Every structure is written in C-alpha cells, then in structure tokens.
Amino acid sequence: PTANIGVVGLAVMGSNLARNLASREGNTVAIYNRSHEKTEQLVAAHPEAEFVPASSYEEFAASLTTPRTAIIMVKAGRATDAVIDALIEVFEPGDIIVDGGNALFTDTIRREKAVRETGINFVGAGISGGEEGALNGPSIMPGGSDESWVTLGPILRSIAAVAEGEPCVTHVGHDGAGHFVKMVHNGIEYADMQLIAEAYDLIRRGTGKTPAEIADVFAEWNRGELESYLIEITAEVLRQVDAATGKPLVDVILDQAGAKGTGAWTVQTALSLGVPVSGIAEATFARSLSSHPEQRAVSGDLPGPAEGLSVDDVDAFIEDVRLALYASKIVAYSQGFDEIRAGAAEYDWSIDLGAIAKIWRGGCIIRAQFLNRIAEAYDVEPGLPVLLTAPYFVEALGRAQAAWRRVVAEAAAAGIPAPAFSSSLSYYDGLRAERLPASLIQGQRDFFGAHTYKRIDKEGTFHTLWSGDRTEIEAEDTH
C-alpha cells in the first residue's frame, strides 16, 4: 500500500478534492469511482498528480496505508449509504470513512453510530467552497471522533484554504457536529444571497441604474466592511452580458431560484430547536415563492401602490441600502450562530463558535472580512448569548438602523418585496422591545385552553376562570 488517503466518487467535487490532495506534499491519493471510466479519465487528464487508481473496493482498500482513510464524495442520501456499506466490507477497525457530501446531520449521527459498531471511524465533514474551493482550498467542517481527528487533522489541514495564516479547518465536534455547522453555513449563505438580491432590486428599481452600473456599486462595496466572496461574485454576475441577446445576463435568466435543501434543513432544525432564524427562513421562503410560476401568474393583478420607488438623492439611497444590507447581514449571522449554539446544547457537542467564524474566513461561500469581527466577539466573550449584542455589532447597528428603517419603509410603500430586509429588522426590534405582545398571546391561550400564564409581579402559575366569574386562581403549570 502506498496511498495515505483515498477518494471515492469522482464527479467534479470529488475529482477536484482528489487533485487538491495529490498536489500537497506527502499525499498519495487512491481513487475509486463506480464507473471505472471516470477514474481512468482523471488519471489521464492529470499526469502530474500521484494517483493510485482502483477498479474495485478491494483494490482501493489494498492500496491504502493503515489506518485507511477515505473521503466519500457522492450524492447525499442513498448513494452515500451504499458506499459506506461497501467500504465497511473492505476496511478494518481503526480505519476512517469520511463523508464529504452535504449530508443531513441526523443521517450523519445515525451513520456514525452504525459504523462505530464495526470499530471503523465515521466522520461527517462539511466541505464548502464549490468546485473551485475543492480544488484550491475549501473550508472544512469535520465532526467525528477524537481518534479519527489524529489521522485526519493533518490531511485536511494540508488541503484547506488558509485565512490569515490559519488553515480553514477545525475539529468541530463529535458525530454530526460538522454537518450541522455546514448546514447552518448554507442557511447563512441563503440569507446573504437573498439580502444581496434585495439590495440589487431596490437599487435598480429606485435609481434605474443598469446591472452593469450596479455591478460597480457592488465592486465599491466590496472594498469596505461588506467585503466578501458573495458581494464580489455579484458584481461579476451583474456585469455579464448574454451573448445571444446582448442583454444583461441577469435579465434573461429565469427568475425562479433553485434549492437543494440545505436551507430548508437549517430552518426545519431551527424550528425544532426553537431558535428564531427568521432571516434565513425568509430567504428560503423567498426562493420557494419565486419558484411557483403558477401562483405568480395568477397574482400579477393584485393591487399595489400607485407610485413605484422614486429616489431623489441616488448616492444617499445607495448608502442607505448598503447599511440596510450590512445590518440585515449581522442579523443573519447572529441567528445562524445562535442555531449552532442551540444545536450544540441539544446534541451535546462542544463547539467553539469563535473557531467556526475563523474557519469560515477562507475557502467557503460565505467567506467575508466580517467573520474576523465575529471571531473577536467570541474571543472576548465565548458565552455571548446573542452575537449581535457584541460591542462591535451594536456600534454597527447603531450606525445602520435609521437607514435600515428608511429602506424597509420605502420598499413597503413602493410595493417592492424585501422580505429578508424587513424580517431582519423586525427580529432586531423584537430583541430590543422591553415588552412584547406575547402577554396577550398567553392571555388568549389561557382563555381557550386554560394553558395558564405567569405574572410579572409574583411567583407561581395562574389561570383566569374565563367561562366562570373571571377571577384568577393559582394553577398547575401546563406551559
């Protein structure tokens, strides 16, 4: 055996990851794909890479030094289970199977438990950065056992992106922790993308600027506190001209957003955990709304305001939108980190939130300058209960909030949907509120279901005899 690491599944992500591994000092990479042709093609296309091609799982296992370590890069779901089953047949106790796909973290928890019974280690690792990241340096979020991290750590460090001198990989926590964190990464990605899309839409409708001109606005923003990969590529997409029609590409792309499910998982999980990730949820629902053409077709005649958005001071408006975007982005990240904290508590993972912010600084889709501020916030206060209450963000929100309100109000008045902007602002004001109308909800619940309530002025649980003489009695706590 000569290979220290193997890759199973040689579609684009798998091939690129295998090439990345092979390009790093000290790695020899065993490769296997269900159809052997792909394996041969990869070897032929990259004579520079030290690959050990295998045509069967037996051959694959035999080519690996022990403890054998294999990264699976196949479609999440059944295909992953099939590869795991095949590897278990040919691997031995102490070996390590890594699932690098976008698996649902509860599947990873289940798989880890099942594989552990064989003595083999199973590691669910979130890998972000798309095709380019896989090839040149992704951000990697591995879960799994401490034992597997001993072998896996150096290998993953060798291929990860580097941000400010540090590799963008950390042992996130046990079993499904890595895939959980990757899931939330994608939820934040959805929110960030939706917020950017709303900013673009408002600027376009409010100022009449062309996509190419708005590309310049984003390029400018990318030099400031919004600096990030998503802002950068937004400028590139907006500048692109369709060869066939000569129109801006963004105007000929069908306006129905796809989704492979990780955003929905983030929201579903947050609902179960009781964490309000409203910005992420709005972003996910905004994609759903966009992709129901039959509903949109019949809704086109719904009444709206007579006037559209008309902006007098273009520069001031663009600055308002920038601040609204920044504030809403702070909300999205804060909600995402809250979900990670809640997930860690629920599943008994010890997750270092500051370390997560750091490994997202490079390689991944949501990489941004801004993540340094998050890391700093957790450095100062690791147990910070709400990220956006850290002094840096309080200052930024203070600077942005008036503009944020103006933008949301103007969008509403002009009938322009800005769901992520406005729900983020509502969340922010909900956090700020000294008193919430939840007291009325408790009253209603007590009225129709004797669900009881607490009082602000004394201990205990109470119920009003609504259908009787409406006096209050002490009650059993029924929540």
User: With CB under 6 A as the contact rule, which of the stretches 224-232, 252-260, 315-323, 469-477 interacts with ligand 6PG?
Assistant: 252-260
Straight-line distance from the first to the last Cα atom of the chain, in angstroms, rounded to the nearest whole number:
61
**Catalytic annotation, pick one of 50, 117, 131, 182:** 182
Of the candidates 259, 273, 342, 431, which one interacts with ligand 6PG according to CB under 6 A? 259
- Does 383 belong to an annotated binding site? no
- Does 14 belong to an annotated binding site? yes
Pull the structure tokens for residue 426: 């509502």
**Catalytic annotation, pick one of 25, 147, 189, 476:** 189
- Does 405 belong to an annotated binding site? no
Of the candidates 75, 113, 260, 296, which one interacts with ligand 6PG according to CB under 6 A? 260
# chain residues binding ligand 6PG, by CB under 6 A: 13
| 50 counts as catalytic | no
User: With CB under 6 A as the contact rule, which of the stretches 107-115, 159-167, 234-242, 260-268 interacts with ligand 6PG?
Assistant: 260-268
Q: Taking Cα atoms as reference points, which of 191, 187, 155, 194 lies closest to residue 171?
A: 155
Q: Is 234 in the site for ligand 6PG (CB under 6 A)?
A: no
Interface mask (CB under 6 A) for ligand 6PG, residues 344-383, using x and -? --------------------xx------------------
Nearer to ligand 6PG (CB atom), residue 282 or residue 320: 282
CB 452 within 8 A of CB 462: yes
Bridge partners, residue 7, by sequence:
31, 71
User: With CB under 6 A as the contact rule, which of the stretches 21-29, 254-262, 392-400, 433-441 interacts with ligand 6PG?
Assistant: 254-262
Alpha helices in 91-145 (DSSP H): 105-116, 130-136
CB 122 within 8 A of CB 99: yes
CA distance 374 to 358: 8
Q: Is 130 in the site for ligand 6PG (CB under 6 A)?
A: yes
Site for ligand 6PG in 155-214 (CB under 6 A): 186, 189
Residue 51 phi/psi, 5-degree rounding, is -100, 145
User: With CB under 6 A as the contact rule, which of the stretches 233-241, 258-266, 301-309, 344-352 interacts with ligand 6PG?
Assistant: 258-266
Closest CB 269 distance from ligand 6PG, rounded Å: 15
Pull the structure tokens for residue 463: 């119920």
Q: Taking Cα atoms as reference points, which of 386, 382, 186, 391 lies closest to residue 280?
A: 186
- Does 454 belong to an annotated binding site? no
Sole residue written with tokens 């994609």: 287
Q: Taking Cα atoms as reference points, which of 455, 477, 452 lies closest to residue 466?
A: 452
Q: Which residue is nearest to ligand 6PG (CB)?
A: 128
- Does 169 belong to an annotated binding site? no
Closest CB 411 distance from ligand 6PG, rounded Å: 24
* Contact residues for 385 (Cβ-Cβ < 8 A; gap 6+): none
CB 427 within 8 A of CB 276: yes
| 117 counts as catalytic | no
Nearer to ligand 6PG (CB atom), residue 128 or residue 423: 128
CA distance 419 to 401: 17
- Does 260 belong to an annotated binding site? yes
Nearer to ligand 6PG (CB atom), residue 67 or residue 263: 263
User: With CB under 6 A as the contact rule, which of the stretches 127-135, 278-286, 298-306, 414-422 interacts with ligand 6PG?
Assistant: 127-135
Closest CB 32 distance from ligand 6PG, rounded Å: 22
Any long-range contacts for 116-119 (C-beta under 8 Å, 24+ apart)?
116/145, 118/88, 118/93, 119/92, 119/93, 119/94
Q: Is 128 in the site for ligand 6PG (CB under 6 A)?
A: yes
Closest CB 177 distance from ligand 6PG, rounded Å: 17
Closest CB 261 distance from ligand 6PG, rounded Å: 6
* Contact residues for 368 (Cβ-Cβ < 8 A; gap 6+): 226, 227, 228, 229, 230, 360, 361
**Sheet hosting strand 139-142, strand order edge to edge:** 51-53, 29-32, 5-8, 69-72, 96-99, 121-128, 139-142
Site for ligand 6PG in 83-102 (CB under 6 A): 102
Alpha helices in 243-313 (DSSP H): 249-252, 262-273, 278-290, 293-299
Nearer to ligand 6PG (CB atom), residue 123 or residue 183: 183
Nearer to ligand 6PG (CB atom), residue 182 or residue 209: 182
Catalytic residue IDs: 182, 189
Binding footprint of ligand 6PG on the chain (CB under 6 A)? 102, 128-130, 186, 189, 258-260, 262-263, 364-365
